[in-house]
Amino acid sequence: MILLKLYWAFFQVGLFAFGGGYAALPLIEEQVVHINNWLSPETFTDLITISQMTPGPIAINAATFVGIQLAGLPGAIVSTVANVTPCILIVLLLSKLYTKYAQLPLMQHVLQGLRPAVVALIASAAWSLTREALLSSQGRLAIGGINLFSLAIFVLSFAAYNKLKKLDPVLIMLVMGALGGLAFYVFKF
């Protein structure tokens, strides 16, 4: 029964996740945390972090990780296949339609209407992850619901990425992960 539920949940995510993996995050969160109660919000945030650090698209990685946590290897396979099936079918259909009707004004207006919706979904995912990462009253350095250590890691990472464009994002993640682990081990943040 769980395999069928996993398939249906991630089929829906794959069907409605326009705009890539980050746009799919609110849909995945809705299915995994709110509708099916498979993961807590904290575990979901950890899952997204791991999905970002591993190679491959974030939505597929998230589907695979949720599936493996709930039903082992069969769950991972079912979730991953369910997530990509609608994408494959939609891309095949749209490529046929686009090559035939690309110059029609209606097609251009549909694409123009999709762009802001995709940006809104990505912004929603960013806001949800930011809230979960920074707004925590746990730890020694929490004031007013904001974990100051997490905020400092966020600011350092943001500044390193934006100011030092030559730094590899993976290096930034590794350094900040090591810093976070060290701070937790030494200071119990």
pLDDT at 127 over 60: yes
Per-residue model confidence (pLDDT) at position 162: 87
Going 180 to 184 to 186 to 189, the CA torsion angle's sign is positive
Structure tokens belonging to residue 172 = 């930034």
Q: What is the pLDDT of residues 160-170, one digit of tens each?
A: 888 877 778 88
Q: How confident is the model at residue 100 (pLDDT cuts 50, 70, 90)?
A: confident
Per the CB < 8 A criterion, the answer to whether 45 and 28 are in contact is: no
Burial class (CB in 10 A: 0-12, 13-18, 19+), 169: exposed
Per-residue model confidence (pLDDT) at position 35: 95
Between the ranges 51-65, 72-86, 135-149, 158-172, where is the mean pLDDT highest?
72-86
SS3 146: strand
Q: How confident is the model at residue 34 (pLDDT cuts 50, 70, 90)?
A: very high
**Mean pLDDT, range 125-146, rounded to an integer:** 70
Per-residue model confidence (pLDDT) at position 180: 84
SS3 147: strand
Query: In terms of Cα–Cα distance, which of 49, 81, 80, 54 is closest to 66?
Result: 80
Q: What is the pLDDT of residues 142-155, one digit of tens each?
A: 666 677 888 888 88
Per-residue model confidence (pLDDT) at position 141: 60
Query: In terms of Cα–Cα distance, which of 69, 68, 78 is closest to 7?
Result: 78
What is the value of pTM for the model shown? 0.58
Apex CA 56: angle with CA 51 and CA 62, to 5°?
35
Q: How confident is the model at residue 61 (pLDDT cuts 50, 70, 90)?
A: very high
Query: In terms of Cα–Cα distance, which of 158, 159, 133 is closest to 147?
Result: 133
What is the distance between the alpha carbons of residues 39 and 31, in angstroms, rounded to a whole number? Answer: 10
Per-residue model confidence (pLDDT) at position 110: 84
